[in-house]
Structure 1
Amino acid sequence: MEPSLVQQRQSLRQHIRRLRCSLSEPQQFAAGQQLAEHAILFSPIQQAQHIALFMSMDGEINTRPLIARLWHLGKSVYLPRINPHQPTTLLFQRFTPQTTLVKHRFGMMEPEENCDECRPFTDLDVVIVPLVAFDSDGQRLGMGGGFYDRLLVNWQEAGVLPIGVAHNCQHQDTLPIQPWDIPLPAVITPNKLWQWGNKEA
């Protein structure tokens, strides 16, 4: 009997998370540096002023080198926060070297609440999106909470470009997808820029 789609997705999540968590500290460091080098040369990021990222956890590719590069280039950087009034949605709050970070209920670091520093999703230029796995068609498998899938439903109409970032090992030929999965127009890994022109990157 074939495993269900839900089981396939959960098994794949566990497998990819083990792979990325097995990377050594030097490998993680090198991957984060290479990612930053490639990302700042990507024209949508070069042209953007307001860029949302995320703080890495659970073996995710290290975004701190990219954040530091963006600060150096004078870009405004934002991090996601779970909306305290709508716990299934995200807010994006300005992140500077002076920002205090706190741990939210899922273990990710987010800025200490300051509504004056928040910016609507539709006022961002680029959102750097976390993922567990991606495939050769730009499909994305997330952690299962649906935060980014809900956020990105109308990204083209909003004029915000989502870009995935991942380790090389997170690429799969195909993914077991669900109707609510939102494909990405671009993914950056340490070794490659993946783009899918039909998604208007």
Structure 2
Amino acid sequence: MIKEQKKQIRRKALARRNALTEPERERGKLLITERILGHQWYYLSDTILGFVSYGSEICTTEILESALQDGKNVYVPKVEDGKMEFYRMFSLSELKNGYKKIPEPAGDTDRYVFEPEHADKTLLLMSGSAFDPLGNRMGYGGGFYDRYLADKENLRLRSIGIGFRCQQVEQVPVEVTDVKPYQVILV
């Protein structure tokens, strides 16, 4: 029952996101970049676990490039054998198409290793298909972030779900395995 509800909510939220015009996307990119780069958690972090935007997702290019220019350690997801881990990136130009043609680090780069004493200096940015006013996040159905956060002590990481305002729904159906970000910023 919940799986079917999620599927319908995801489909509708993604249809709204896909329908955004180029000026709306550009405005969203500028606003989310401004909000993240001006966020206290960004300022306090020396490590950013970001994501490379794909398809109609809100563009994270400027966030990632700024983090690199600011001297932060930047890691982005890489999926292998159905498991997501974060790997270090040094430049957007080094990325290659990986799982579902989503850009990810090529070759052997350092994998992010969670250290509890470093949690307050790490910021995790989460993509999603839908978000609700209570801060619940719905991904794309693969459970990658949920599994990544559940099998570690990473729940103490400062995490922010980001997206477009059109992705907000009344309520995201929540399962026991769902992990929500500490904050959600929709623009």
Matched, 1:141 2:138: yes
Pair 110,157 (structure 1): closer, same or farther in 2 beyond 3 Å: closer
Which amino acid is 1:93 matched to? Y
TM-score (norm 1): 0.83
Does the 8 Å contact 1:126/1:162 carry over to 2?
A: yes
**2:11 aligned partner:** 14
Does the 8 Å contact 1:32/1:66 carry over to 2?
A: no
Does the 8 Å contact 2:128/2:163 carry over to 1?
A: yes
Q: Secondary structure at the match of 1:164?
A: strand
Q: Secondary structure at the match of 1:106?
A: helix
**1:66 aligned partner:** 63
Pair 103,73 (structure 1): closer, same or farther in 2 beyond 3 Å: same
Matches of 1:71 and 1:23, distance apart in 2:
29
Give the deviation of 1:88 after TM superposition. 2.9
Does the 8 Å contact 1:36/1:69 carry over to 2?
A: no
1:109 to 103, 106, 121: 103
2:89 to 73, 76, 95: 95
Which amino acid is 1:103 matched to? N
Q: Secondary structure at the match of 1:173?
A: coil
Matches of 1:113 and 1:45, distance apart in 2:
27
- The total of aligned residue pairs comes to 183
**1:197 aligned partner:** none
Pair 171,81 (structure 1): closer, same or farther in 2 beyond 3 Å: same
* Unmatched segments (≥5 aa) in structure 2: none
1:79 to 71, 76, 80: 76
1:89-127 deviation per Cα after TM superposition (whole angstroms, max 9, x unaligned)? 222222122652111232211110214x32214466111
**2:29 aligned partner:** 32
Q: Secondary structure at the match of 1:127?
A: strand
* Unmatched segments (≥5 aa) in structure 1: 191-201
Does the 8 Å contact 1:155/1:161 carry over to 2?
A: no
More helix, by proportion: 2
Query: After TM superposition, what 4+ stretches of structure 1 lie above 3 angstroms from structure 2?
Result: 121-124, 154-159
Give the deviation of 1:15 after TM superposition. 0.8
CA-based RMSD of the aligned residues comes to 2.0
TM-score (norm 2): 0.88
Deviates more, 1:171-180 or 1:155-164: 155-164
2:112 to 111, 114, 119: 119
Does the 8 Å contact 1:91/1:120 carry over to 2?
A: no
Among all aligned residue pairs of Structure 1 and Structure 2, give the percentage whose two residues are the same amino acid.
Answer: 25
**1:194 aligned partner:** none
**1:152 aligned partner:** 149
